[in-house]
Amino acid sequence: MPRQINHHVIATVTVVSCFVFFSAGANATSDPESDKRTISLREAVTKTITGNPDLRAFDYRLKAQDGRVQQAGLAPSPELNVLLEDALGTGNHKGFDNAQATISISWILERGLRQRYVDTARAGLSLFSVEAGIKQLDAAAETARRYLVSLAFQARRVNADKTVQLAKATIAAVQKRVRAGKAPEAELFRAQAELARRKLEREHIDHERVSANRRLAAQWGETELTFSRVAGDITSLPQLASFGTLKSQLQQNPEFIRLLSNRRLKKAELQLALARDKPSWRVNAGMRHTQEDSNNNSQALIAGISIPFGQRTRNPGRIAEARANLAETHLAETATRIRAETILSVLYEKLQHDMHVINAVRNDIIPPLEKALTETRRAYNLGRYSYLEWRSVQAELLDAHNALIEASVNAQRNIIEIERLTGVRIAQPITRP
């Protein structure tokens, strides 16, 4: 039976960095494989929820718990009792002349015990269902992380293509000066070596990109790639919700929902222990047949009840254990809340720093370096700057583009973790003019 897809899980994780994954930017158009199969984050998450091997294995645990609920609802079977007395003896009891036969049915009065078993089993099923949702969310978040890695390598590939093109343009410019006798031939050799290095870097990125795609496909159990690209623009900037808003949403954390379900289970277990402290009564009723002689038979109704007696409390150990387990859930909730708020605070501070870096690199570093590169190349062609000075500006600009990608990766990784922690969307895409 196919797993029922938790659309809340898909929606929660799909919006992780949606401002990046839902827009197709320069990273998509510059990739030479842009005409091949592209997969979106939503599609990747959906395939994970339906095909992840670990999630499929967890389905059987849910079915097992369903069986426990079904079993808990079954009442004890009545018992048929047959009693033969005063037969096959001696004297007056020889043969069956004065035999007495009693047939009765007995059953147990559970006094609410079965309902407690059912309540406990249902509370356990509820906890399993919450854990199933958490596992789905964890699997979906891991898919988002692997998707991000693939998207990062695509962006690095775009930069690698730019560096190769820049290295080729540099060779062409150096060749002109060498032919004109205005530059030593050694500069041409250095430019050619630089091109070879950049091609090797691009080849390495291609290898890592394919490996990242394979790790992504493994999330839904595929070993053969059916896609070559992931959709999105890794460098888009979001508008973030305030820290106070996110903190107020921490109760959406799946861990808190799990703790709430666990508390209900512990309460049900305590009620069960208290119910088992009451002894069960046994009731029976039936007919007795008496054969006084061969011509005189009689029947009579019989009924009885068995009530255990002894110590008033018969289940003190289990009751004490259940009370302690219930009290522990309150402390666990407090500890989880403190831990979640601390992690959220740290992640949010990191995200703000990443956003600052992205803005600074994009607006304050890359534009001046692009202008510097244009001017340096013009100066090199005029013989005012050396190859080394031109090459230095190129390296600075390429480093800035790489820094933009890495800062974007860090920001999106933190967004994934924050949204996994709170269970809510924290960013809205910005529409650029």
Q: Do residues 407 and 357 make contact, with C-beta atoms less than 8 angstroms apart?
A: yes
User: Closest Cα to residue 159, out of 430, 419, 330, 403?
Assistant: 403
Helices 41-51 and 53-72 cross at an angle (nearest 10°) of 50
Q: What is the pLDDT of residue 15?
A: 44
148 burial via Cβ count (<10 Å: 0-12, 13-18, 19+):
buried
- Decide: 403 and 361 in contact? Cβ < 8 Å: yes
Assign 388 a pLDDT band (cuts: 50, 70, 90).
Answer: confident
Indicate if the pLDDT at residue 272 is higher than 70. no
Looking at residue 278, its pLDDT comes to 64
Judged against a pLDDT cut of 60, whether residue 16 lies above it is answered with no
CA-closest candidate to residue 412, choices 159, 158, 148, 229: 148
* Dist. CA 358–CA 19, nearest whole Å: 15
Over the stretch 390-403, which tens digit does the pLDDT of each residue have? 889 999 999 999 99
Residues 322 and 273: beta-carbon distance below 8 Å:
yes
Counting every residue written for the chain, the total comes to: 433
Give dist(CA 46, CA 11) in Å, integer: 10
Q: Would you place residue 329 in the very low, low, confident or very high pLDDT band (cuts 50, 70, 90)?
A: confident
pLDDT at 207: 95
Ranges 16-30, 126-140, 243-257: which has the least confidence: 16-30
Beta bridge partners of 301: 287
Summarize the confidence of residues 83-92 as an average pLDDT. Answer: 70
Q: Which residue has the higher pLDDT, 237 or 417?
A: 417
- Of 71-85, 95-109, 311-325, 410-424, minimum mean pLDDT range: 311-325
Confidence of residue 23 (pLDDT cuts 50, 70, 90): very low
Q: What's the pLDDT at 371?
A: 94
Lowest model confidence (mean pLDDT) among 183-187, 201-205, 278-282, 299-303: 278-282
Specify the pLDDT at position 373: 92
Q: What integer pLDDT is reported at residue 283 of this predicted model?
A: 72
Q: Tell me: the pLDDT tens digits for 346-386?
A: 899 999 999 999 999 999 999 999 999 999 999 988 888 88
What is the structure's pLDDT at 419? 82
pLDDT at 270 over 70: no
State percent of the chain over pLDDT 70.
67
Q: CA torsion sign, 54 to 59 to 60 to 61?
A: positive
Range from 61-65, 107-111, 128-132 carrying the lowest mean pLDDT: 107-111
Q: pLDDT band at 200, cuts 50/70/90?
A: very high
Mean pLDDT on 249-278? 64
Arithmetic mean of pLDDT over the chain: 77
- Distance (Å, rounded) from C-alpha 39 to C-alpha 2? 22
Q: Which residue has the higher pLDDT, 130 or 407?
A: 407
CB 255 within 8 A of CB 340: yes
